[in-house]
Chains A and B, each alone.
Chain A
Amino acid sequence: MEGLPDDELVKRAKNGDRDAFAELVGRCQEKIYQTIFRLTWNHLDTDDLVQETFMHAFRSIKSFKQKASFSTWVYRIAVNLTLNHFKKIKRDREEKHISYENCISEGNSAGSISSPEKNSLKKELRKKLDEAINSLPLPYRSSFVLVEIQGMSHGQAAYVLQCSENTVSWRMHQARKLLQGRLRPYLERGMS
């Protein structure tokens, strides 16, 4: 199974081959998990949503027309389920926060920054950046996560979010503008 391309696995999965589907799940599960987690900031919800996503994908794989790749199609399901999840529960965003410290990179970033003061500034900026991303309105956040974090093109994100490329482009601009506005003090300090 491991050497087979996605298309072949999809064909087999369409004929009810659960092992082929499990192989497909294994291939894109991590990215799906990260995407959902970026939207929910809750490991329990993410775990449930990941499972729901793949179960939904398995049930409806016969309707998958293979116009997009399997992973993009699963992204679409994942994002839809996550957005529905938000609509249902409407929890306070603050309650969903997990410790940001765990999610902030401790690795090296720009090699040009060397002083301890600048390092702490970078750390603070990343913390605030995480908060700012998380506080973006959901449509902007979902576009931002798919394009900026998962590296999708506007076209792919549009397919996942079921909107036009122009909408994705506009949402990306708005999201960046909001982030820039919220992080301006830190950005100006970092640049000075």
Chain B
Amino acid sequence: MKCEKIQKWISDLIDRELSERKKKILMLHLEKCASCRLYQDQIRTIHAEVQNLKMPGVSSDAIQESLEKVKKRLLSEGEEKKGKSFQYLRKWRWAYSSVLLVFTISIFLLFFLPRFKSAERENLYVFSFEEALGDVYREIGDDGELEDLFDSIILSSIEDILVDSQLTGEAGFFDNTLFWEELSEEELKLIESEIKKGKTS
């Protein structure tokens, strides 16, 4: 066994990292090797002295002061983060405003504009008999002859309507929308044949 390897094992032994098997081999070697024994003694002395070294003097005040510094930095870091997020909002405020404006306009166009249009259409399609008659009379103006002619036509038309309504004052059976539906198939066939007869005669 080489002494170099044994010396590494001595180091591991001090650190309590040496296996039991290697420990036995090490002990056997140390019994025979004086230089490794000396090395082990010196390393153990160093180890003992290191444990006796005073750790860097850190007073409790210094620790408290350092702790306060860390706390302050933690708090300021939190505020910075908040500030950063607001800064981000501020930076993009025009973009956000534009998007909001476009959205509002879109909503307006989508829901309100069709209603206005339909109202306009309704206004266009309203027919007033009086207004139409007024327009005709405005067109006729002072022309008495034309006015008489128009009146006579209107009057004759009204008379015709009255005569027609007198002639057909009683509603015919065919005005009843349910009449045809109430007939049986045989009756319908009979009517059909009668119509055919009428046409041929």
Which positions in A face B, CB cutoff 8 Å?
18, 21-22, 25-26, 29-30, 33-34, 37-38, 46-47, 50-51, 54-55, 58-59, 102-107, 109-110, 122, 125-126, 129-130, 133, 147-149, 153-154, 165, 169-170, 172-173, 176-177, 179-180, 183-184, 187, 190-191
Contacts and interface: CB of A to CB of B under 8 A. Distances in A.
Interface in B32-58: 39, 41-43, 45-50, 52-58
Interface in B59-99: 63, 66-67, 69-71, 73-75, 77-78
A190 B127 CA distance: 127
B71 A58 contact: no
A170 B56 contact: no
B17 A148 contact: no
Given A25-B67, A33-B56, A109-B49, 14 more contacts: A34-B56, A34-B58, A38-B56, A51-B70, A55-B77, A58-B74, A59-B77, A107-B52, A130-B53, A169-B15, A176-B43, A176-B46, A190-B45, A191-B41
Contact of A29 (B14, B43, B66): B66
A126 B63 contact: no
B73 A129 contact: no
B85 to A, nearest CB: 14
Interface of B: 7-8, 11-12, 14-17, 39, 41-43, 45-50, 52-58, 63, 66-67, 69-71, 73-75, 77-78
Main secondary structure of the interface of A (DSSP, over half): helix
A77 B43 CA distance: 30
A36 to B, nearest CB: 9
Nearest to B50: A148
Given A18-B74, A22-B71, A179-B46, A154 B66 contact: no
Contacts of A46: 56
Nearest to A184: B42
A71 to B, nearest CB: 15
A113 B114 CA distance: 105
A103 B15 contact: no
A104 B75 CA distance: 38
B7 A177 contact: yes
Contact of A110 (B12, B14, B48): B48
B55 A191 contact: no
Given A18-B74, A129-B49, A176 B11 contact: yes
